[in-house]
Amino acid sequence: MLSRSMETKPNLLTLVCEKYKCPPEAFESTMLRRSVSPLAWPVVRLMVRHHREVYEFDLELIRELKNATSFAEASRIISSHCSMPQKRRAIKLLLLARVSKRRLKSIAREVFAVTTA
């Protein structure tokens, strides 16, 4: 797993991989899975596998979050990303298979709370 140095603040990638016991290469899929409704996950997984472009906007957000070193920074990234126009939003809403920004913030809040405790 990823080791943390005492001198540098851990980023979201490190903390998520530690918490969910996933390799860094699985960060995107782990965050994507945890940011959608469990009921929608099979649809999302299928869409990402066959029509990845539908979720590219969301995956871009998840990639931007990797280097966040605090909940405040992650929250800012999520909020600024949400203000951008979304492509293919209608299909995700129709399928009830959208990425929840609230869930992303909740994950960030949870993993960064461990570093301040």
- pTM for this entry: 0.81
Which string of DSSP letters, residue by residue, matches 22-81? --GGGHHHHHHHHTS-TTTHHHHHHHHHH-GGGGHHHHHHHHHHTT--SHHHHHHHHHHH
pLDDT, tens digit (0-9, with 9 covering 90-100), for 7-50: 688 999 999 999 999 999 999 999 999 999 898 899 889 988 99
Over residues 45-72, mean pLDDT: 91
pLDDT band per the 50, 70, 90 thresholds, residue 110? very high
Q: For residues 17 and 24, is the Cβ–Cβ distance under 8 A? A: yes
| Cβ contacts of 96 within 8 Å, gap of 6 or more | 37, 39, 40, 43
The two structure tokens encoding residue 52: 């990845």
Give the confidence band of 83 by pLDDT, cuts at 50, 70, 90.
low
Q: How many residues does the chain have?
A: 117
Q: What tens digit of pLDDT does each residue of 85-106 get?
A: 555 555 555 566 778 889 999 9
